[in-house]
Amino acid sequence: MFDSRLRPIIDPPLNALGTWLAKFGLTANQVTLAGVLVGIGAGVAIGFRYYLLGLALLLLSRLFDGLDGAIARATAQSNFGGYLDIVGDFSFYIAVPIGFGFAVSANLPFALILVGSFTLTGISFLAYAVMAAKEGRETDAHGKKSFFYNTGLAEGTETIITFVLMCLLPQYFAIIASIYTAMCLVTVIQRTIAAKVDFP
């Protein structure tokens, strides 16, 4: 929901930093993989109830997630890089809820349901992108990407905000997870309706 609105604000400094890092030979794929490892590390830290460490790691992983695209734009974008990016994103989206599930046993059902909602959201996202590619559709609303990004209520920015709230207020994980699960399901419905309209 907020991703496309934030792009004009966050892209210029990220692109400048990405261009600078590319001069040292750092590749987009290296940064993507580093972000994945840090993101999984956030889930592990949360699992041991080091919530503030988990918060720091998840924010660092999202910085890497922004920088990999900036480095790619400064050098050369690749289809494999786009593949790594989306796999890395969903690895992170799964790791954090699982961490909360391990941290407190009562969180586990809510964590599993949230992971399930992420799965549905991801499927709707990728299925729409496949259909858009077949139709030759393009958009740069979310920046220059390897494939079509369809908007929705629950996107990357909303997910990060949700995870931050979970780390700051871990005692309310079940409530926050339930709210965001509902947002994910609304997003799936939105994309399904959009697919019906755009790809009759």
pLDDT, one tens digit per residue, over 142-187 is 445 555 667 778 788 899 999 999 999 999 999 999 999 999 999 9
Residue found under tokens 């954090």: 96
Domains of the chain: 3-198 (1.20.120.1760)
Which of 102-111, 134-143, 178-187 comes out lowest in average pLDDT?
134-143
**pTM to 2 decimal places:** 0.86
pLDDT of residue 147: 56
| Closest C-alpha among 31, 144, 35 to residue 93 | 35
Query: What is the chain's alpha carbon radius of gyration, rounded to the nearest angstrom?
Result: 17
| Closest C-alpha among 174, 70, 167, 192 to residue 114 | 174
Q: 125 and 117 in contact (C-beta within 8 Å)?
A: no
- Tens of pLDDT, residue by residue over 20-50, are 888 888 899 999 999 999 999 999 999 999 9
Tokens of 111: 């964590």
